[in-house]
Structure 1
Amino acid sequence: MASNWDDLKPRVLSAIAMTIVGAASVVMGGIWFQMLVIFVTAVMVWELWTMIHDEPTKGMLLAALSAAVLSGAVTDNSMIGLLLLAVVPLIGATQLPKERGTFFIYAYAILGAGWGLVQFRMGNGVSWVVWMLLVVVVTDISGYFAGRMLGGPKFWPKISPKKTWSGTIAGWVGAGFVGFVFSMFTDAGLSIIAISVAVSFAGQMGDIAQSAVKRRMGVKDSSDLIPGHGGLFDRFDAVLGATLFLLLFTFVSYAVGGAS
């Protein structure tokens, strides 16, 4: 039983440190938030590269290029800014002897999520970024404790053998509660509860997708940068999924609104 919880202390300490840094940058916004997002995004591109191809030097060069491209792209909230992000995935894919498609898809998703997160903060303000991050965090915490205390059938054992249906559903319930609390303090209405659950599920799928590439590459963690969590890609995979969902949701909403 104790082995189920032996990673709790390093996870909690690392989570506290990341929460303090992340919360400060979200509240300050502007260049501080952009720099953090660009840094985290660049490191995740490096981690993706090293998972696929054990040549860290080229990975670091791609990370530096990712930071440069994203720094320019975040100032453009049009589709052109989003399209510019394909530069790094294309260059990286041409340098790989294998898994070129895997690198392109995941690298573009990472960069697109970084771009979207900055746009979301600039366009919607601090409260809605806090809402999204709380949905992701509460989903993770609820799933962690429910999965270990309740156990039960696995959600997707071939891809992520530790995830259970009890933890997955607990994550949805926790996210719905976050949405309910926000409905009382904003003008979003009760629809935010359903959106929160959808964001929670998208975050879980981001986690599953990252687990899939790790399993495909035969690695346990994306790196060992964060005690108890692995790498930044391990920690922020759910944020990637949630952000990409909100990007798609925003594009569809604008398209439907413009058509009507």
Structure 2
Amino acid sequence: MSLGLPDPGRWDDLTVRLVSGAAMAAIGIAAILVGGVWFQMLAVFVTAIMVWELWMMIRPEVPTTGALLAAGVASVLSGLLVSDRTMLWVFMLIVPIVGAVVLKTERKTFFLFALGIQLAGWGLVVFREDYGPLWLLWLILVVVATDVFGYFVGRAVGGPKFWPAVSPKKTWSGTAAGWASAAVVGALFLTFTDAGFDIVWISAMLSLASQMGDIAESALKRRMHVKDSSALIPGHGGLFDRFDGLLGASLFMLFVALVVDVPGVAF
């Protein structure tokens, strides 16, 4: 007879997730702190792999084409990181267009996701260059807090689903916990930076953008009938699975830059 207690099986993957997450965090934090070419190349690598995973979800029977497109992404972004940013749109459209032309189905899907992934990866590099490691760490901490607290609270509390047709595991309890934890991160940064109080609600908005990135990738996986984008990371699936929230947050920051003309980030 069930007593309504949380299912212990819900936590079966926790150890693997924690170990893999810690390893990724160590690499990421080191690259962010060092900056320069080290962070740039990490961003290029991760972005290229995510485009490869995108292709493999759509056309897994043609892996060579996916690898070539990933190499194209790496070449384009490597050049953009040291060249005139005004050429951003022209060169970033190459891989999405080529992939969409080669595909017989899901052309719009590939085009939009490939372009979004590249823009997000480029945005993170520019954010690091223009504002330094502290504020990039803030952005990442908001995403991590959203993911971690959403995961634990969602699994422990459960309750009504946030968007069951797209992401059946997400609950309103976990979603709200993500917003609250992000706001707390923003409030903590008030204590040792010169940021205004707006950082609190901006953090919550970043949290929502992060969740929308996660949901967008969940919708893509359901559409492609796959569980994970790949099996590269034990307990996490692929890089796309792990960084979908960060992609959403990065795109949100770029959108904000378009609206308010943030120096160095607007394009």
Could you state the TM-score of these two structures normalised by the residue count of structure 2? 0.94
Cα distance in 2 for partners of 1:220, 1:255 equals 38
The reply to whether residue 161 of structure 1 matches residue 168 of structure 2 is yes
Aligned-residue offset at 1:186? 1.1
Match of 1:214 in 2: 221
The unaligned stretches of length 5 or more in structure 2 are 1-6
Cα distance in 2 for partners of 1:102, 1:224 equals 21
**SS state at 2:235 partner:** coil
- Within the candidate set 201, 208, 218, 1:194 is matched to 201
Match of 2:47 in 1: 41
**SS state at 2:228 partner:** coil
Aligned-residue offset at 1:229? 0.4
Match of 2:4 in 1: none
The unaligned stretches of length 5 or more in structure 1 are none
Q: Is the 8 A contact 1:135 1:178 kept in 2?
A: yes
Deviation per residue, 1:126-185 (Å, 9 max, x gap): 000000000000000010010011100000001100000000000000000000001111
Cα distance in 2 for partners of 1:189, 1:113 equals 25
Alignment of 1:104-119 (within 5 A): 104-119=111-126
Aligned-residue offset at 1:77? 6.0
**SS state at 2:196 partner:** coil
Match of 2:3 in 1: none
Cα distance in 1 for partners of 2:233, 2:120 equals 21
Q: Is the 8 A contact 1:42 1:63 kept in 2?
A: yes
Q: Is the 8 A contact 1:156 1:163 kept in 2?
A: yes
Match of 1:183 in 2: 190
Q: How many pairs align?
A: 256
The reply to whether residue 3 of structure 1 matches residue 9 of structure 2 is yes
What letter is aligned with 1:21? I
Could you say if the C-alpha distance between residues 65 and 97 of structure 1 is closer, same or farther in structure 2, counting changes exceeding 3 Å?
A: same
Q: Is the 8 A contact 1:203 1:238 kept in 2?
A: yes
Aligned-residue offset at 1:90? 0.5
Cα distance in 2 for partners of 1:70, 1:90 equals 16
Aligned-residue offset at 1:97? 1.2
Could you state the TM-score of these two structures normalised by the residue count of structure 1? 0.96
**SS state at 2:139 partner:** helix
Cα distance in 2 for partners of 1:49, 1:79 equals 27
